[in-house]
Amino acid sequence: MPTTLTITPPGDYVLARDFCSYGYFLLEPNHWEPETGSAGRVLHLEGGAAAAVIDQRPSGQLRARFDRSLDRSEQGEARRQLSRMLGVDVPRSEVEAFHRADPRWKKSGRGRLCRSPTLFEDMIKTVTSCNVAWPSTITMNRRLCEVMGKRSPSGGYAFPTPRRLARAKPMTLRSRCRVGYRDARIVELAKLYVKGRIDEAWLSDPATPGDDVFRFLTSLPGIGPYAAGNIMQLLGRYDRLAIDTESFRHARVVLGMDGTDAQLSKQLAEYYDAFGDHRFRSYWFELWDFYESRKGPAHTWEKHTTGTTFTASQLNK
């Protein structure tokens, strides 16, 4: 019999708001169904791929219904992966601390950001989002799942594991998954993961200085300053910005700043210093608020229509 899991989130948790809070909720193998208010996801577990549909009950609890039976070990792993992806592992106290630093978001309750079930997937998704238009990022992640991911009983594809990608030929990723120049870098990252060279516990440990984490990340193949900053927020380290072309657009259009990219970077750093350890949160929710002002609340976005045009270059038309 297929397994159903119940997860108790913090009392302030809202699935539609907290899952539909970052662009990765639109990337395969994630899926959001606006009509039912449910999230879909194929997880890679010890016994293979398993698809889950997650909704929030009137009691506030989250219900995850799988397309196959999970043994006890897989249930534990599924809970850990879903908790990370949905932001259930972010306590209410942390969100409240953010609201004290930036009261603008207290009424909406915003504070959690969607991420992937694993850091490895977050890293690969970040690599596929650099130096490319959003529709191509969507295509890359869809093809990575379809070509390299395991299939669940109901037909969905999981995100490929480090071991699977470590064995891949770069040309296969380039030709079949359309990742372009990222092909060898993705394989190299996967190999580092398989060899245990990327220590997630060390990266996530609050005792590890942020500068050390940033230096390590930028030493990895395919990870530049923007990617490192973004991976840091996906690690729960929100004290550093991830500056890219969207940041410069936001600085000019929303914040009224002017100057060269270097000058804008300095102005943005000074502006967000006021939010301390929550710099990225304040920046991101400003950005997300702009997107929603153009296309409506993110939980109403259709994945294959509005979801393909959520970057400001499109929404600003």
Contacts of 286 (CB under 8 A, 6+ apart): 250, 254
- Backbone φ and ψ for 116, nearest 5 degrees, come out as -90, 165
Sheet with strand 62-66: strands edge to edge:
4-7, 62-66, 48-56, 38-45, 31-33
**Domains recognised in the chain with CATH numbers:** 4-105 (3.30.310.20)
Give the closest residue to 125 by CA, choosing from 22, 46, 247.
22
The encoded tokens of residue 85 equal 């992806």
**How many whole angstroms separate alpha carbon 100 and alpha carbon 141?**
36
What is the model's pLDDT at position 246?
Answer: 93
What is the model's pLDDT at position 269?
Answer: 97
317 pLDDT exceeds 80? no
The whole-model pTM stands at 0.95
**How many whole angstroms separate alpha carbon 157 and alpha carbon 51?**
8
Residue-wise pLDDT for 83-96, tens only, equals 999 999 999 999 99
What is the model's pLDDT at position 307?
Answer: 82
Could you tell me the pLDDT band of residue 304, with boundaries at 50, 70 and 90? confident
What is the model's pLDDT at position 46?
Answer: 96
The predicted model gives 187-194 an average pLDDT of: 98
Residue-wise pLDDT for 210-249, tens only, equals 999 999 999 999 999 999 999 999 999 999 999 999 999 9
Portion of the chain with pLDDT greater than 90, in percent: 95
Contacts of 78 (CB under 8 A, 6+ apart): 5, 43, 45, 50, 52, 64, 66, 70
Give the closest residue to 116 by CA, choosing from 29, 203, 221.
29
Give the closest residue to 117 by CA, choosing from 173, 148, 157, 77.
77
CB 140 within 8 A of CB 179: yes
Give the closest residue to 124 by CA, choosing from 148, 90, 154, 151.
148
8 pLDDT exceeds 70? yes
**How many whole angstroms separate alpha carbon 304 and alpha carbon 317?**
19
Question: Exposure string (b/e) for 49-66, b if CB count within 10 Å is 16 or more?
Answer: bbbbbbbbeeeeebbbeb
One-letter identity of residue 28: E
Mean pLDDT of the chain: 96
